Structure 1
């Protein structure tokens, strides 16, 4: 018994001197470096790791919002009922980067500089950089030039309003716009335009509460939005949680023929440029499905 007790004491003494006891391996040494004033080495290391993790997450979020998906907050009712005031939409920024282009019916976010608004005046570059980073994360108001609208006409389309039934026509085909705000007319302003190649004709779903292509007919560019100014396609409503949903493609433009769609042969069938007046599909003609198909934190104008 005595031998066993002495052996136990020797073991403890040895452990305390050579530092190999398991408990001592995790003890903070008095000589541990202090990473922050008044903070022990272990605590300082923890705060350092937290800071690095936060920085890494911030960089990742910026890269994600700049190149893949960016949140935008809707501040006005110009896209009701599809998008409500306070909705935060997630914009797919790679939707049009691999050979695809905006299609009729798409809800897009775009930079309206040169089409909807004049070139902005110069600002402090540092302030602009910080604001841009915060807006990209959905933490600040966006640039005054960002808008969200629905694509109604693409390059080569002839868009007219209104037909005898009060509807918008695209390439002679009336569009049943079921997404419009209840009680709204398709347009109180008549127009008959041909969309130039490489541009879009866009309109809000709440037509009586939307400043869109119609309001810029007399401006340079005629209200058309260059395709290369499109930031991305609004694919999801991410906030509030009760509004979480994917923005489903509309079928309103299914019967519209246009550039790139299969066309019947014969005179008047060439839609390579804009459709000429009177080139309307006659009742009973076989149809080929066409057209593939508003600031607050990170928001866009209506």
Structure 2
């Protein structure tokens, strides 16, 4: 009797658990696909911050949300036709950017870049001094000795790329991915628990087969 009562409670709870779990799971998936995307690092231009093969969580943003120092996934046909690039924002529209070798200053102030581990002296890069056009971005890779970035395209739009090409910003904090994964996992557990309650309750409602008659001599 107690077993039947427990099954009945589970069956009743299933009517809440399964819809709640499905709603949570589907809602998490839709929210994640609408606001974020995954990307795989394909080269060494952002080393050591991001290495080839790293999987990154990208926050979908538009041009109005870009900040100096952001690492962006951006379409930059001015630099390459091979697909989106992963680059760091150094200057934005109206900024005065100057540099020589691997050192760079913005609006007269030397940029503190602890993420750059290459030597400051890079003989392959000559001095540059320019103002970023409105609506465009001056981008550099963190691996300055091995990065096809704005320094090598100064003859066209001062090496800048259109801010409208941004696909998203790399999330450096793992809080959001962790929360979304937890919510998705909870949705799966609740859905499975609800479906299990349906199945057990349905089986418990089925009548037992009649007992076989005793053999008669």
Shorter-chain-normalised TM-score: which range?
0.5 to 0.7
- Would you say 1:86 and 2:53 are equivalent positions? yes
SS in 1 for 2:72: strand
Distance 1:236 1:64, change over 3 A: same
- Could you tell me whether the CA contact under 8 Å between 1:88 and 1:237 is conserved in 2? no
TM-score, structure 1 normalization = 0.44
Any unmatched runs of 5+ in structure 2? 1-21, 179-217
Higher relative contact order (CA 8 A, sep 6+): 2
Residue 217 of structure 1 corresponds to 154
Matched, 1:176 2:176: no
Of residues 74, 80, 91, the one that matches 1:153 is 91
Mapped contact 2:100–2:127 kept (Cα < 8 A)? yes
The number of equivalent residue pairs is: 152
Q: Could you say which residue in structure 1 is the equivalent of 2:181?
A: none
Which whole-Å deviations, capped at 9, do the CAs of 1:129-150 have from their partners, x for residues lacking one?
xxxxxxxxxxxxxxx3200100
Larger radius of gyration: 1
RMSD value over aligned CA atoms?
Answer: 3.0
Q: What is the TM-score normalised by the length of structure 2?
A: 0.60
Residue equivalent to 1:205: 142
Instruction: Give, in whole Å, the separation in 1 of the partners of 2:139 and 2:30.
Output: 28
More strand per residue? 2
More helix per residue: 1 or 2? 2
Q: CA 1:77–1:173 in structure 2 vs 1: closer, same or farther (change >3 Å)? A: same
Per-residue deviation at 1:174?
A: 1.3
2:100 equivalent among 162, 186, 206: 162
Q: Deviations over 1:196-244 (max 9, x none)?
A: 111100000000110011122224x342111111111111487xxxxx9
Q: Secondary structure at the match of 2:79?
A: coil
* Runs of 4+ off more than 6 Å: none
Structure 1 segments unaligned to the other structure (5+ residues):
1-52, 119-143, 239-243, 245-302
